[in-house]
Chains A and B, each alone.
Chain A
Amino acid sequence: MSQASSAPLVEVDDLCVRFVGPDATVSAVNGVSFALAPGEVLGILGESGSGKSVTLRALMRLLPHRKTRMDGRITIAGHDILRLDAQALARVRGPVVAMVFQEPMTALDPVFTIGQQIAEAIRTHESIDGVAARRRALELLELVQIPSAARRLDAYPHQLSGGLRQRAMIAIALACRPSVLLADEPTTALDATVQIQILLLLRTLQRELGMAMIFVTHDLGVAAEVSHRVAVMYAGRFVETGHVNDVVKRPSHPYTQGLLGSTVHGVAKGTKLSTIPGAPPNLARLPEGCSFAPRCGYAQQACRVAVPAQVEEGGTSGVPHLTRCVRVQASSAACGTTVPTTA
Chain B
Amino acid sequence: MTAAAPHILSVQRLQKYFPVRSGLLGRASAWVQAVDDVSFEIAAGETLGVVGESGCGKSTTGRLLMRLIEPDAGQIRFEGKLVGRDLKVSDLRRSMQMVFQDSYASLNPRLAVADSIAFGPQTHGMPRERAIGRARELLGMVGLEPSQFERRYPHELSGGQRQRVNFARALALDPKLIILDEAVSALDKSVEAQVLNLLVELKKNLGLTYLFISHDLNVVQYVSDRVLVMYLGKVAEVGPVDAIYGAPQHPYTRALLDSRPSMDPEIRVEHPPLTGDPPNPINPPSGCRFRTRCPHAEAVCQTQEPDLRPAHGAPGHLVACHMRRAGSGHSQAAPLVRFGDREPSR
A269 and B53 within 8 A (CB): no
- Note all chain A residues with C-beta closer than 8 A to B266: 245
- Note all chain B residues with C-beta closer than 8 A to A196: 259-261, 269, 272-273
- Note all chain B residues with C-beta closer than 8 A to A274: 193
**How far, in Å, is A105 (CB) from chain B's closest CB?**
13
Q: Which residues of chain A (257-276) have a CB below 8 Å from chain B?
A: 258-259, 261-267, 269, 272-276
Chain A: CB-nearest residue to B261: A221
A48 to B191, alpha carbons, bound, how many Å?
11
Q: Which residues of chain A (166-200) have a CB below 8 Å from chain B?
A: 191-197, 199-200
Most central of B192, B217, B223, B270 by chain A CB within 10 Å: B192
- Note all chain B residues with C-beta closer than 8 A to A48: 188
Interface assignment of B85: CB less than 8 Å from any CB of chain A: no
Residue of B193, B271, B277, B280 touching A275 (CB-CB under 8 A): B193
B190 and A200 within 8 A (CB): no
Interface assignment of A164: CB less than 8 Å from any CB of chain B: yes
- Note all chain A residues with C-beta closer than 8 A to B158: 279
Interface assignment of B332: CB less than 8 Å from any CB of chain A: no
Chain B: CB-nearest residue to A147: B276
Interface assignment of B215: CB less than 8 Å from any CB of chain A: yes
Interface assignment of B264: CB less than 8 Å from any CB of chain A: yes
A197 to B197, alpha carbons, bound, how many Å?
32
A199 to B200, alpha carbons, bound, how many Å?
33
**How far, in Å, is A202 (CB) from chain B's closest CB?**
12
- Note all chain A residues with C-beta closer than 8 A to B193: 261-264, 273-276
A219 to B189, alpha carbons, bound, how many Å?
8
Pair count A-B, CB < 8 A: 130
A220 and B263 within 8 A (CB): yes
- Note all chain A residues with C-beta closer than 8 A to B160: 279
B277 and A222 within 8 A (CB): no
Q: Which residues of chain A (149-167) have a CB below 8 Å from chain B?
A: 161-164
A94 to B97, alpha carbons, bound, how many Å?
50
A161 and B277 within 8 A (CB): yes
- Note all chain B residues with C-beta closer than 8 A to A164: 277
Interface assignment of B38: CB less than 8 Å from any CB of chain A: no
- Note all chain B residues with C-beta closer than 8 A to A18: none
Chain A: CB-nearest residue to B51: A192
A220 to B190, alpha carbons, bound, how many Å?
12
B-contact bits for A46-63, CB 8 A (1 contact / 0 none):
011000000000000000
A264 to B196, alpha carbons, bound, how many Å?
10
- Note all chain A residues with C-beta closer than 8 A to B194: 262, 275, 277
Chain B contact surface mostly: loop
Interface assignment of B177: CB less than 8 Å from any CB of chain A: no
Given contacts A219-B261, A225-B268, A262-B192, contact A269 B222 (CB under 8 A): yes
Given contacts A191-B54, A193-B256, contact A258 B269 (CB under 8 A): no
**How far, in Å, is A8 (CB) from chain B's closest CB?**
22
- Note all chain A residues with C-beta closer than 8 A to B241: 269
Interface assignment of A123: CB less than 8 Å from any CB of chain B: no
B222 and A267 within 8 A (CB): yes
**How far, in Å, is B279 (CB) from chain A's closest CB?**
9
- Note all chain A residues with C-beta closer than 8 A to B268: 224-225
Interface assignment of B108: CB less than 8 Å from any CB of chain A: no
A279 and B261 within 8 A (CB): no
Given contacts A162-B277, A196-B259, contact A224 B264 (CB under 8 A): yes
A249 to B217, alpha carbons, bound, how many Å?
22
* Contact-residue size bin, chain B (C-beta under 8 Å from the other chain): 35 or more
**How far, in Å, is B262 (CB) from chain A's closest CB?**
7
A244 and B265 within 8 A (CB): yes
A248 to B261, alpha carbons, bound, how many Å?
13
**How far, in Å, is A264 (CB) from chain B's closest CB?**
5
A266 to B223, alpha carbons, bound, how many Å?
11
B274 and A193 within 8 A (CB): yes
- Note all chain A residues with C-beta closer than 8 A to B217: 192
Residue of A147, A161, A191, A193 touching B273 (CB-CB under 8 A): A193
A-contact bits for B277-308, CB 8 A (1 contact / 0 none):
11010000000000000000000000000000
Chain B: CB-nearest residue to A245: B265
- Note all chain A residues with C-beta closer than 8 A to B272: 193, 196-197, 200
B189 and A191 within 8 A (CB): no
A193 and B197 within 8 A (CB): no
A262 to B271, alpha carbons, bound, how many Å?
28
Residue of A163, A265, A269, A279 touching B191 (CB-CB under 8 A): A279
Interface assignment of A218: CB less than 8 Å from any CB of chain B: yes
Given contacts A191-B54, A225-B261, contact A200 B271 (CB under 8 A): yes
- Note all chain B residues with C-beta closer than 8 A to A47: 188-190
Interface assignment of B275: CB less than 8 Å from any CB of chain A: yes
Given contacts A221-B261, A224-B261, A244-B265, contact A273 B197 (CB under 8 A): yes
A276 to B196, alpha carbons, bound, how many Å?
13
A275 to B223, alpha carbons, bound, how many Å?
16
Chain A: CB-nearest residue to B242: A269
**How far, in Å, is B171 (CB) from chain A's closest CB?**
20
**How far, in Å, is A326 (CB) from chain B's closest CB?**
21
Given contacts A264-B193, A264-B222, A267-B222, contact A197 B260 (CB under 8 A): no
**How far, in Å, is A292 (CB) from chain B's closest CB?**
11
**How far, in Å, is A92 (CB) from chain B's closest CB?**
32
- Note all chain A residues with C-beta closer than 8 A to B223: 269
Given contacts A163-B276, A200-B272, A262-B189, contact A224 B256 (CB under 8 A): no
Question: What are 20 A-B pairs at a CB distance below 8 A?
Answer: A191-B278, A192-B53, A193-B53, A193-B278, A194-B53, A197-B272, A218-B188, A220-B189, A224-B262, A225-B261, A225-B269, A245-B265, A245-B266, A259-B190, A261-B193, A263-B189, A263-B193, A263-B263, A264-B196, A276-B190
Q: A161-B276, A220-B263 are in contact. List 20 more A-B contacts (CB 8 A).
A: A47-B188, A161-B277, A192-B259, A193-B256, A193-B274, A196-B269, A200-B269, A200-B270, A224-B265, A225-B269, A248-B263, A248-B264, A262-B189, A262-B194, A263-B189, A264-B196, A264-B222, A266-B221, A272-B197, A275-B190
B contact residues vs A (CB 8 Å cutoff): 53-54, 158, 160-161, 188-194, 196-197, 200, 215-219, 221-223, 241, 255-256, 259-266, 268-278, 280
Q: What are the 9 closest A-B residue pairs judged by CB atoms, nearest first?
A: A221-B261, A262-B193, A191-B53, A161-B277, A47-B188, A276-B190, A273-B193, A197-B272, A244-B265
